[in-house]
Each structure stands twice: as structure tokens, then as C-alpha cells.
Amino acid sequence: MNITNDIKYIGVDDHNIDLFEGQYDVPNGMAYNSYVITDEKIAVFDTVDAHFGDKWLENLDGALGGKSPDYLIVQHMEPDHSANIKVFAEKFPEAKIVASKQAFVMMKQFFGSDFADRQIVVGEGSTLELGRHTLKFIVAPMVHWPEVIMTYDNTDKALFSADAFGKFGARDTDEDWACEARRYYFGIVGKYGAQVQAVLKKAAALDIQKILPLHGPILTENLAYHIDLYKTWSSYGVESEGVVIAYTSVYGHTKEAAEILAKKLEGKGCPKVSVTDLARDDMAEAVEDAFRYGKLVLATTTYNMDVFPFMREFIEHLTERNYQNRTLAIIENGSWSPNAAKVIKGIFENSKNITFLDTVTIKSALTDENTEQLEALANALV
């Protein structure tokens, strides 16, 4: 597929995968993107997952039209993008391999060779002349691995953005970009907001008219919308007004409280109420919603003087990703010694700018007093 006169897409769609990175449900598959710039010199950007090496080479041969590439630019060493480096090196023995110093260390680990006789090591501000196209390299450590580089093409004003601006889902899937890009971002990159902010500052100095990520669609329209979302996500800002109610329930009483609160919030005009059963619903979507909206209610039972396991897992997903700048409320349940609120507040003790509302404590089953407390909590949340 032609992106510009000189840039071609040679990636593949994967509809066989069930879990990305062994944990994220991807019902619409994944795209492993790869690109070629054809100029006086020919540069290939990244490879694809090992399962699609033959298809990728077929796409590459079609794009080359009988020519040989001069460079393989390795922006990210995660195996869904790097698995075919050795295959490429063997097929095109004259081609140079362009990557960061850390990436060559990882090549040695993955392939037993760092291709020492073919290395071009690049860092911040390094350039590579192809002819009409000059490539400028931008280091992007921990977005989301330490070796990552991005590449800016000054001729077609294109940013090859590695995993940034990627999303779940194959490219032949028609779906909203933001939803699956958000779940992808907070699941995989969310911990590294400061590093993303640093790269965005570098990108702000460039005239970017196209973003070519390693997953998902090529972005050519309304780039300010996509970039602004990344600014919000990476600064842990609130994207949308609303309340997330995440609950775990053993015998249904805590679930009942969560559902009563949701109805009260909706009745008071809350713009969005998202209710999720952490034992049954997609945990990654729950994490996504917790970062999207500004207010979160955690409703859970006391379990072994701790919190129910799915709730602990959910909270640890949040704190691991630097959850901050949010309003939280707790609904705890315990038949003889309610302790969930104390444990939850302890888990969040190192989180920044967390405001806790009054806790609602249920002892076994809901009482009239609990219902009044839920009414007060709904008022506080709206």
C-alpha cells in the first residue's frame, strides 16, 4: 500500500491472536506495521511477528521491485516487531542495520549476534541521508522499552512513532481509534507518562503531517486530536467527566450497593456511569475507564482481613501505572470486621493527588442507613 510516492506499507494483520502480550484480549486482532522508504537509498522500518515472517518478506519483495534495501531501521526490539531481523540480515547481507546502542545489546540476547560489522548506532539528533529524504532520529527511552527510537522524515513530514499512537485491533477492522488506543496506552505505556511527555515536547518542534505507528492505522487527519489525547493520558489528566464503579461481590450485597449507587448517579444527571464486575469483566477495560474518568468508586468485601483478590489486582494495576489526580470513594463490606477501606487507602498511600470521599461501610447486608449513605455519596460524586 502506498502512503506517499516514496513510503509504502508492508505490514501484516494478525487475526489468529487471542491475547496480546499474553494478557490483553484482542477480539479484532492486531496489526504489526512495517514500512519502506524508496529513494536513492532504501530504508526498511522494523519487521513483524515471527508467525508472519514469510508474508512480510513477500510484501517487502513486492515493495522493492527487484531492488535491495540499504538499511533496516530497528525502532523497537519487542519481538512482535523485531522477530525477523536475523531473517532480513541473512536475506540482504549488504544491508546495514540502524538502531540505538541498547537495541544492539538486545539483538545479541535475542539472536546471538549484534551484527557488529553492519551496525549504524544512532542517538538523539542523528541523521541518515537517503537522497531526497533525510531521516532524523529521536530517542524515546521507556516508551515503552529503554532502547526505543522514533524517526522523522523531513520530506514527507512523517513521524515513524514506534509503539506510540498504536492501538489494539487489525488495520482491516473498522472501529473507533480512541477506545482501543486508550486501552492499549494505559495497559502497556501508562506507567511511563513522564517519558511520553518528554517525547511529545520533542515532537512539538516538528512539522508532523503523518504518524506511522507500529500498531494500528496510519494517522493522517486530525492529528491534533490524537496528540492532545496523548498529552492528557501521559499527564494523568481527566479525559471525560464521569464515575467508574468497580466492584467485587461474594453473595450479592456489595453488588447491590454498587447498582443502587449507579442508579442514584444516573438520576442526578451524572454524564457517564460505568459499572464493572472485576471478577467477570475485562480488567484492562476497567483500568482504561479508571484513567479516562475523574472519579472512581471501589466497592468490595473484606477478605482474609484484606480486600477481595480481584479488587487488589485491579488497584495494583492502577498504582503500578501511577494512578493520580482523581477522586476516590470506597464501599466496604465485612460481616464481623470490615477492613477493606483501611487496606485500600494503604495501597494508595504513595499515589499523588488522590482525594478520598467518606467511606460507606456495610456489615453483611444493606440497611436503611447504608442507603442514606449511598445517597450522600452520590451527591458528593456529582
Break the chain into its structural domains and give their ranges.
7-234, 240-381
Q: pLDDT tens digit string along 17-49? A: 999 999 999 999 999 999 999 999 999 999 999
The mean pLDDT of 185-204, rounded to a whole number, is 96
8 A C-beta contact, residue 158 and residue 209: yes
Q: How confident is the model at residue 331 (pLDDT cuts 50, 70, 90)?
A: very high
Sign of the Cα pseudo-torsion (52, 217, 197, 231, in order): negative
Q: How confident is the model at residue 300 (pLDDT cuts 50, 70, 90)?
A: very high
What is the chain's alpha carbon radius of gyration, rounded to the nearest angstrom? Answer: 24
Q: What pLDDT score does 318 carry?
A: 98
Q: pLDDT tens digit string along 68-119? A: 999 999 999 999 999 999 999 999 999 999 999 999 999 999 999 999 999 9
Confirm whether 7-234 and 240-381 share one CATH topology: no
Q: What pLDDT score does 234 carry?
A: 97
pLDDT at residue 167 is higher than 90: yes
Q: pLDDT tens digit string along 207-225? A: 999 999 999 999 999 999 9
Q: What pLDDT score does 116 carry?
A: 97
- Contacts with 295 (C-beta within 8 Å, 6 or more apart), sequence order: 242, 243, 244, 326, 327, 328, 329, 381
The mean pLDDT of 155-175, rounded to a whole number, is 95
Domain 240-381 is classified in which CATH homologous superfamily? Flavodoxin domain (3.40.50.360)
pLDDT at residue 174 is higher than 90: no
The mean pLDDT of 332-343, rounded to a whole number, is 94
**Residue 216 one-letter amino acid:** G
Q: How confident is the model at residue 332 (pLDDT cuts 50, 70, 90)?
A: very high
8 A C-beta contact, residue 177 and residue 216: yes
The proportion of the chain whose per-residue pLDDT surpasses 70, expressed as a percent, equals 100
Q: What pLDDT score does 1 carry?
A: 86
The mean pLDDT of 150-178, rounded to a whole number, is 95
Q: What pLDDT score does 84 carry?
A: 98
H-run or E-run covering 254: helix 253-267
**Check: CATH 3.60.15.10 for 7-234?**
yes
Q: Measured between alpha carbons, how far is 197 from 164 in angstroms, rounded to an integer?
A: 12
8 A C-beta contact, residue 198 and residue 154: no
The mean pLDDT of 313-341, rounded to a whole number, is 96
Q: What pLDDT score does 325 carry?
A: 97
pLDDT at residue 271 is higher than 90: yes
Q: Measured between alpha carbons, how far is 261 from 371 in angstroms, rounded to an integer?
A: 9
Q: Which of 148, 150, 144 is nearest to 188 (CA)?
A: 144
Q: Measured between alpha carbons, how far is 377 from 45 in angstroms, rounded to an integer?
A: 52
Q: What pLDDT score does 217 carry?
A: 96
